[in-house]
Homo-oligomer: A and B are copies of this chain.
Amino acid sequence: MTKPYKKIMITGAAGRLGTELRRGLAPLADTLLLADMVEVKDLQANEEGIVFDLGDEEATMAAIEGCDAIVHMGGAPHERPWQEVLDSNIRGSYHIFEGARKHGVKRVIYASSVHAIGYHRLGDHIPCDAKPRPDSLYGVSKCFVESLASLYHDKFGIESACVRIFSSFPEPADRRMLWSWLSFDDCCRLFSACLTAPYLGATITAGMSDNKVKPVDMTNGGHVGFRPQDSSEPYREAMEAKTDPADPGDPSTQHIGGWFVNLGHPDDEEGK
């Protein structure tokens, strides 16, 4: 049977989620092009590897040629000093979209983050495509790419999904993840759905498993066709046994960005 794509590039392919997606997206393309700053190991028959820095425009462009979809997981994965956020997340993502434009890529699926909207409150029941309200420079860079994706769809016709991933880990790692957790399997389901949805436009959606507590309204992501099948419930008892309840007065309890809202400015932290 014909696969929907010939070659999908996965950036950040050596990372935590990139590794999972190698498995999850294999059915969707003849070839997965695994891109990272470091060499990706254990290449399978359907995989090719490539090493470059997203900040290197020419290398990024060259890598994209021949791909018909990009799953863009690369760049700094959490709060970092401005210069790093600028180079890897802002400039790097611009290179991705420019590459997509110049080489006729059909869809770009981007790992945005809850931290693009981290200062919204848990009780707000925001829609999954709520307005930007970043909780960090990292979050600001995610907002930047979301607006870039909007432009590249409206003006250049490139379909995209910016997936605001909440907390994708092997299992819930703290109390907050009892509601924010996205299992690896659900993460794969979500990115697959984005690549195969009948209409994508410039979608902004969110990624959480089917956890009991649901502070985000997913209605606006209904056209993507993501149906989470995992839940944090099996982990609840153990997590509650070993951790204290959240402090209701702590900003990290009140906002969906969690402890990111309590971080200082990264350049201060770095002693800059």
Contacts and interface: CB of A to CB of B under 8 A. Distances in A.
A178 B197 CA distance: 10
Contacts of A222: 125, 213-217
Interface string A205-230: 00000011111110110111101000
A119 interface: yes
Chain multiplicity (copies):
6
Interface string A78-95: 000010001000110010
Nearest to A260: B155
Interface in A111-158: 116, 119, 121-123, 125, 129, 131-137, 139-140, 143-144, 146-148, 150-151, 154-157
A201 interface: yes
B140 A151 contact: yes
Given A178-B198, A198-B176, A151 B139 contact: yes
A106 B222 CA distance: 35
B203 A214 contact: no
B133 A150 contact: yes
A19 interface: no
Given A179-B225, A214-B225, A216-B222, A248 B157 contact: yes
B154 A143 contact: no
15 contacts: A86-B94, A101-B265, A119-B155, A123-B199, A123-B201, A125-B220, A133-B147, A134-B147, A143-B144, A196-B240, A197-B213, A211-B225, A214-B223, A217-B219, A219-B219
Interface of A: 1-2, 4, 82, 86, 90-91, 94, 98, 101, 106, 116, 119, 121-123, 125, 129, 131-137, 139-140, 143-144, 146-148, 150-151, 154-157, 159, 175-176, 178-179, 193, 196-201, 203, 211-217, 219-220, 222-225, 227, 237, 240-241, 245-246, 248-249, 253-254, 261, 265, 267
